[in-house]
Structure formats: structure tokens, C-alpha cells
């Protein structure tokens, strides 16, 4: 059986589309089989919510009187990058305040803007003939800003490593607090609900795919940074960090229900972002992909006390075991916990399902594929001659 995007969108418009979440489809396939489920279901929704450090927002403040060419910009004392046009800036989620505090950063500014709060803008310039003003100190909000759109270079990781710590001291990392002597393990993925786990070869996800982003409708803009495909697969799903998405969406349409500032103790700020992707059931192979279960998805346990980019996995562990709250590690039971929110991922999949059923969300067919083959290059020490 084959379906087209046009057929599915017509069913959405008519209110006839059958939509299930990635959790719900598992039970349907188990009871009815792949063939029958494919005939009955049009779309499966996915979701993930977690710390996505490679996130931020482009902002256009408008021109002052007299005009200024902004060179140095801060928002609530958080530096924003202004090396663009005169009054454009990009604020990154992990940028900390100028005073050196790492408990507040760009992520907090983004959340406060989405919440409708006023943000303190300061900017300075060297002054030019066409932009004579040299400084400005004012307050802005999403009501006063022209364009404000989230552009995240790396979101929705397709799997990720599980963190532990063999050393004698506690480690504070982007994977949270890691207790000494293998005292715990942490992980960050929605597993069977996660978008790229349900379309591991990106058959339906590419440039131009409409997605749920932070409560708004956004799009896949490009391959995400650190995108790679040369990762061993198990049950069709990569067993470690693999593909990623660069995504874009209107900050003014987003909600703090799905975009939240986070701060990792002794590590710094980051942004919790909610991403959901509708997977059209084009054929039986697509149905097989979206019915993947946590028992079939595996990730490597890595020792974060090893200060190297090349960490040998201690073992592979399933998401079913991780989500049970305990994993077996070196012959003993160790507590496991998630730094992403499965509950929020479930809410996102449900919210996207409701939008599709109500006809508020239509599918878009990708305009270009993301890479089928890609390796991630390391940063090594080179001479100039070696890299030219």
C-alpha cells in the first residue's frame, strides 16, 4: 500500500485523517500487525523535549532616532552577537551574563521574551556618517521587536550517549550531576517518542519539513551541526549520536510551555526546547519504522571522567532499561535518570496530534534530502599548510 502527501493532506482538510502518537501506534501494530495498521493510520506524531544547547534567536530591534550601527549588544546583561546588519543580533542560549555568572544566560532572555516580559537592551557603536548614534539604553519586548525567530543549528539529536563517572569525585556536566565510582547514569532522549528514532533514514524528514517547534509551527532548515550517518545501527536505529536537525520558527508564536531556560549546576545555561515531527505513513516500511519500541533502541554508556572525545562504551543499554530507573553496570544495579522530559515529549506528540485532527497543521513534503552519508570531522592541531 502506498500513500501520497496530497492524499493525507486532503484527509486532514476533510477531518478524516487517522492520527496516532508514536506511543499509541506500538500497541496497534502489536495487536493488528503492520499491514492492517498501515491501511488504517495516516500519520504518527513524535515529540522530544530536552536541553538543546545549540539554540538561539535572531532579533531585529528596528532603527533608533538618530540611527545606530550596533557593535556591542547586551540583553539583560547577556552579550548578543551583532556582527550582522545595523540592528540585527543573534543571542545564543548558552551565552552567560557579562558579570561571569553562569546561572543566567541567553536561554533565560529567550524565555522571558516569549513570556512577554521586557528585556533591557544596551548597545554601543563607534558611530558612522549614516549611523551617528554611539549608544542606546532602552527596554524591548516581542511587541517592539520586528523579526524575532528561533534558529537552532542543532536540535532533536538522533540518539545520544548515556553518561556515568568512574572517578573519585562528583562531575558537573551538560549531562547533569554524575556521582563518583559509577554512582549513577544519566541519559537524554525520548526514545520511542523521539522524532528521528521513528524515521531513522529520514525518508520523510528533510529541508522544508513542517514541524512543531516550541509551540509554534516551524521548519527543518538544514542538516544540524555534528550530523553524521556512520554510526552502527541496531533494529534499524543508530546506537549512538547520529543525525541532527537545524530548525527555524517564529519566536512570537511560541510558548513557555515548550521553551524553557535551564541552568546546569557548575556548567551553565541552556535551553529546553520542544520539537515534534509528524511522520506520514507512506507505506508499510514507514509503519515498521514508527512502531519501534524502547526495548529495540540502544545507546552507549560512556565514562565522562575520561577527558577525551574518544570514549570506549562500557556497554550498550536499551531505553527500556534506562527508563526502568536502574541499569546493570559492572555487575551491579545503578540508578538511571533522564535529563530530558518524557512527559513533555508525550504532551508534544499529543498537541501535534490534536492540531492535525483539527486541520490546523498540514504536512509538507521535503524540498531536499538531508545527507545520506556524512562523517563528523574532529578538530585537530594543524599547521596552516596542512589545512590549506
User: CA-to-CA distance for 335 and 322, rounded, in angstroms?
Assistant: 9
The SS3 assignment for 208 reads: coil
| Beta-bridge mates of residue 260 | 272
Confirm if 261 and 119 have CB atoms less than 8 A apart.
no
User: CA-to-CA distance for 7 and 216, rounded, in angstroms?
Assistant: 24
| Residue 53 is a catalytic residue | no
Confirm if 338 and 33 have CB atoms less than 8 A apart.
no
Widest pairwise Cα distance in the chain: 73
Give the active site residue among 130, 377, 381, 387. Answer: 130
Total residue count of the chain as it appears in this document? 388
Report cis status (omega within 30 of 0) of the bond before 5.
no
User: CA-to-CA distance for 214 and 185, rounded, in angstroms?
Assistant: 28
Report how far Cα 254 is from the mean position of its chain's Cα atoms.
15
Grid coordinates of 380: 585537530
Q: Give the number of C-alpha atoms closer than 13 A to the C-alpha of residue 332, restricted to the C-beta side.
A: 7
Query: Dihedral sign, CA of 33, 34, 38, 41?
Result: positive
Q: What angle do CA 260, 101, 85 make, to 5 degrees?
A: 70
**Catalytic (active-site) positions:** 130
Amino acid at each position: 500500500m502506498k500513500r501520497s502527501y496530497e492524499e493525507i493532506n486532503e484527509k486532514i482538510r476533510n477531518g478524516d485523517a487517522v492520527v496516532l502518537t508514536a506511543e499509541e501506534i506500538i500497541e496497534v501494530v502489536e495487536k493488528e500487525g503492520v499491514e492492517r495498521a498501515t491501511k488504517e493510520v495516516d500519520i504518527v506524531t513524535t515529540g522530544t523535549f530536552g536541553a538543546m544547547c545549540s539554540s538561539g534567536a535572531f532579533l531585529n530591534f528596528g532603527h533608533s532616532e538618530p540611527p545606530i550601527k550596533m557593535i556591542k549588544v547586551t540583553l539583560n546583561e547577556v552579550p548578543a552577537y551583532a556582527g550582522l546588519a545595523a540592528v540585527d543580533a543573534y543571542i545564543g542560549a548558552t551565552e552567560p551574563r557579562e558579570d561571569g555568572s553562569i546561572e543566567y544566560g541567553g536561554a533565560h532572555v529567550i524565555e522571558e521574551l516569549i513570556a512577554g516580559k521586557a528585556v533591557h537592551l544596551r548597545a554601543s557603536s563607534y558611530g558612522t556618517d549614516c549611523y551617528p548614534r554611539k549608544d542606546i539604553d532602552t527596554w524591548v519586548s516581542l511587541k517592539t521587536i520586528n523579526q524575532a525567530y528561533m534558529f537552532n543549528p542543532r536540535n532533536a539529536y538522533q540518539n545520544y550517549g548515556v553518561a556515568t563517572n568512574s572517578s573519585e569525585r562528583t562531575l558537573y556536566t551538560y549531562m547533569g550531576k554524575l556521582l563518583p565510582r559509577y554512582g549513577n547514569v544519566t541519559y537524554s532522549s525520548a526514545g520511542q517518542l523521539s522524532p528521528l528514532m521513528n524515521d531513522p533514514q529520514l525518508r520523510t524528514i528533510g529541508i522544508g519539513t513542517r514541524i512543531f517547534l516550541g509551540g509554534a509551527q516551524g521548519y527543518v532548515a538544514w542538516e544540524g551541526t555534528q550530523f553524521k550517518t556512520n554510526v552502527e545501527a541496531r533494529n534499524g536505529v543508530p546506537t549512538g549520536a547520529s543525525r541532527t536537525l537545524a530548525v527555524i520558527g517564529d519566536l512570537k508564536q511560541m510558548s513557555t510551555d515548550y521553551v524553557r531556560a535551564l541552568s546546569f549546576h557548575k556548567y551553565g545555561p541552556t535551553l529546553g526546547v520542544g520539537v515534534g515531527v509528524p511522520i506520514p505513513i507512506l507505506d508499510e516500511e514507514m509503519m515498521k519504522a514508527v512502531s519501534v519500541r524502547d526495548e529495540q533502541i540502544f545507546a552507549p554508556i560512556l565514562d565522562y571522567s575520561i577527558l577525551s572525545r574518544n570514549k570506549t562504551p562500557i556497554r550498550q543499554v536499551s531505553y527500556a532499561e534506562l527508563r526502568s530507573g536502574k541499569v546493570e553496570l559492572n555487575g551491579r544495579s545503578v540508578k538511571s535518570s533522564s535529563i530530558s522530559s518524557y512527559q513533555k515529549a508525550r504532551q508534544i506528540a499529543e498537541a501535534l496530534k490534536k492540531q492535525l485532527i483539527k486541520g490546523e497543521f498540514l504536512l509538507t513534503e521535503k524540498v531536499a534530502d538531508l545527507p545520506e552519508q556524512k562523517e563528523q570531522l574532529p578538530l585537530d592541531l594543524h599547521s596552516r599548510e596542512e589545512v590549506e
